[in-house]
Amino acid sequence: MATPRDWLQLFRSHTSPLEMSICVSGSALACGGILNMNVLLFLIFGWLYHNAGYGHNSVEDYIQGFDRDDPHKSHHPLQIGSIHPKTARWVTLSLIILSFVYGAFISNFDPLALCILLTLTAMGFVYNIFGKRMGAKFLPIAIAHSLLFPFSYLGSGGAFDPALLLFTVVSLTFYLVMQIIYQIMIEGDLKDICMSEASLLGRLGVHVKGSKFKASIPARAMSALIKLISIAALISALIFQNARWWDFIPILIFAGLMLLIDLNLMKDREYDHGKCLRTMALMEVASTFALIAAIAPSIGGILPAFAIMVLMMLYFAAMNRLLWKTTLTPKV
């Protein structure tokens, strides 16, 4: 019989802070701070949405045959037989329905928020079913996850008056689009570079020969360009919030980290899957924290933003310890 730990492994619950951070940031921006019940409600929504969606993705990848022979996932609950695939599919589909109903309820059935919720749910479903066969698989998931930000903002009562708030929300939503494109198109392809699935990087000449990782110049340029555009979106969001000069310091620090990590990911080297995962984890931390830092001027400064960061890191480390017996690098 499957244990709660098996199910949380299936849901990849350790990476829930990716979506929790987006939802908390959108809600906190709408509420003008973090000490608001809406922030807690959307924190829960982010956790539920992540576990439902990532769990469904794990199930579909296994049922369609993509992950069955992946040696890096041989310890997962579907692969070892602790959870039956059909049971897992019904459970995850039920969770998707639950997350939609819960999201509609906490957003007070706001018409625009409901339209966004329906769109992001549908796009997540498209990615889970067809993503492994799509060359542009980053598009549906980028739409789905980036829309979590305006959904949480509008669902928490956020308005677009003054107009600068609209520009802030648009800038940060665009940042998330670019972040998730990078996560799927660059990191996802690098993680599975040796697997037989649709890979844009593979078509651009990125490959592993023997133990040597080689990246083409076009692939490196595209990877760096995505990060540079993301950084521009963050800076734009700060300008629209009339941020003071010191608000730019954390963003510039995270920007430098993201560019350095990108260089490390895309350089020619000995390919080590575990080391690659650790580097990607650092990129996700830097990218997620940059989003949180970008709303600091509107939620009371860097201290509330720092509190969100600490909460997310504590959850991530604790869940990794529970699920994978590690602290920062899950065994995936």
- Is it true that the peptide bond before 150 is cis, omega within 30 degrees of 0? no
In the prediction, which pLDDT does 150 show?
Answer: 97
What whole-number distance in Å separates Cα of residue 320 and Cα of residue 299? 29
In the prediction, which pLDDT does 329 show?
Answer: 62
In the prediction, which pLDDT does 127 show?
Answer: 93
Average pLDDT, the chain: 91
| Strands of the chain, DSSP E | 207-209, 212-214, 269-270
What average pLDDT does this structure show over 214-232? 94
The pLDDT of residue 198 is above 60: no
Write the CA distances from 144 to 16, 139, 153, 324, integer angstroms: 15, 9, 15, 27
Cα–Cα nearest to 88, from 132, 52, 129:
52
In the prediction, which pLDDT does 328 show?
Answer: 64
In the prediction, which pLDDT does 209 show?
Answer: 82
Tokens coding 191: 């993680």
Cα–Cα nearest to 55, from 134, 152, 124:
124
Quote the percentage of the chain above a pLDDT of 70.
94
This prediction has a pTM of 0.92
State the pLDDT confidence band at 152, using cuts at 50, 70 and 90: very high
What average pLDDT does this structure show over 115-131? 94
The pLDDT of residue 70 is above 70: no
pLDDT digits (tens, 9 = 90+) for 284-295: 999 999 999 999
Mean pLDDT lowest for which of 5-9, 132-136, 137-141, 233-237? 132-136
State the pLDDT confidence band at 193, using cuts at 50, 70 and 90: confident
What whole-number distance in Å separates Cα of residue 59 and Cα of residue 67? 9
Domains, the chain:
7-324 (1.10.600)
In the prediction, which pLDDT does 74 show?
Answer: 67
75-87: b (≥16 Cβ within 10 Å) or e: ebbbbeebbeeee
What average pLDDT does this structure show over 179-197? 80
Q: Please indicate whether residue 211 or residue 309 has the higher confidence score (pLDDT).
A: 309
Quote the percentage of the chain above a pLDDT of 90.
71
Mean pLDDT lowest for which of 54-63, 128-137, 173-182, 216-225? 128-137
pLDDT digits (tens, 9 = 90+) for 264-280: 999 988 888 788 888 99
Mean pLDDT lowest for which of 102-116, 189-203, 213-227? 189-203
3-state secondary structure of 213: strand
State the pLDDT confidence band at 137, using cuts at 50, 70 and 90: confident
The pLDDT of residue 207 is above 90: no
